[in-house]
Amino acid sequence: MPSRFRNFIPSEHFPAEKDRYVLYVNYCCPWAHRTIIVHALKGLEDIIQLVEVDARDATHGWFFSGQTGPARDPIYGVRWMKELYLKADPQYNGRITVPLLWDKKHETIVNNESSEIIKMFFDGFDQFLPPERREANKGPAAFIPQHLRSEIDTLNAWVYDNVNNGVYKAGFASSQAAYNEHVIRLFQALDRLEDHLSEPGHQPYLFGAYITEADIRLYTTMIRFDISYYTLFKCNLKMIRTDYPHLHAWLRRLYWNEGPETAGGAFKNTTFFEVIKRGYSSVAAGNGITPIGPLPHIMPLELPR
Ligand SMILES: N[C@@H](CCC(=O)N[C@@H](CS)C(=O)NCC(=O)O)C(=O)O
């Protein structure tokens, strides 16, 4: 279902401003994780406040539980995320989802669609960042460099349908036939990504030397694959770590990179394996028992021989 709040920063009603917007996230959610990674990669910590919504109730949705995040919303003191949606629109009766970008000035939701939130974060707040972090100054190292724009868009759309959303279609399939179809399509897509990453010009990242939007969007599904989707969503024809050498190397490079191109570890520092495993075990399998393996959660950068 499409997200309902689709405003952009900067715009007349929502100009770029420091300390005005709040990003609500949950660390299990792969869609929220995109926005968390871009927030970290761009160094927006002092410009856009990030708030963790750490729990979800089957009936009432996301809430602040005080377990890993705050016990109440630090802005309004409410306990349920639904209260923020209703503050923005008293008639709202759609899904209560993360991520959510909130405007403290107008006390409303700017946007709750992750693919649009990351676009705003890429360059919408660049005026507050040092010159070397501004997209316009990064040339080929920009997250969406001009010359790759249409290729990145095409890959993103295909990855969304077959991989990001593909695991959900398999995990939530309500018939055996639908499950079979989606799992087969998913692994065909992973096979194609493996081929893509074996081609010259597509290493070490999907489009060559620099991390792009496409890497970020694929990462949040791949890092959850072996530890959650393989078991809990029954996406178990192959594992990344044993069956996809190029994808596996790509994934480990992103995760373990703590250099300047990841702003000191934007992938690793925002990936919490236990949170992810616990989160999926309660949505998918239903009884909240978290699988122990596979261990380790991520293989080392240099594989043992
Ligand atoms: N289109 C949204 C989807 C976000 C989404 O589905 N988030 C999930 C968590 S992974 C959620 O909040 N689900 C709660 C619900 O559907 O009630 C985006 O990409 O931002």
Residue 51 marked as a ligand binder: no
Residues 198-210 pLDDT 10s: 999 999 999 999 9
Residue 96 marked as a ligand binder: yes
Architecture of domain 145-285: Up-down Bundle (1.20)
In angstroms, what CA-CA distances link 136 with 115, 199, 216, 280?
Answer: 20, 28, 19, 38
Residues 39-55 pLDDT 10s: 999 999 999 999 999 99
The domain covering 21-137 belongs, at the CATH homologous superfamily level, to Glutaredoxin (3.40.30.10)
Residue 290 pLDDT level (bands cut at 50, 70, 90): confident
- Which value does ipTM take for this structure? 0.99
The one catalytic residue among 21, 29, 255, 280: 29
Residue nearest to atom 13 of ligand 1 (CA): 97
pLDDT score of 289: 72
Lowest-confidence region among 253-257, 259-263, 282-286: 282-286
Mean of all residue pLDDT scores within the chain: 95
Residue 135 marked as a ligand binder: no
Q: Give the domain ranges of the chain.
A: 21-137, 145-285
pLDDT score of 305: 78
Report the first-to-last Cα separation within the chain, whole angstroms: 46
Q: How far is the CA of 94 from the centre of ligand 1 (A)?
A: 11
pLDDT score of 1: 45
Q: How far is the CA of 71 from the centre of ligand 1 (A)?
A: 21
Pocket-forming residues, ligand 1, beta carbon under 6 Å: 3, 29, 31, 61, 95-99, 112-114
Q: What percent of the chain has pLDDT over 70?
A: 97
Residue nearest to atom 2 of ligand 1 (CA): 113
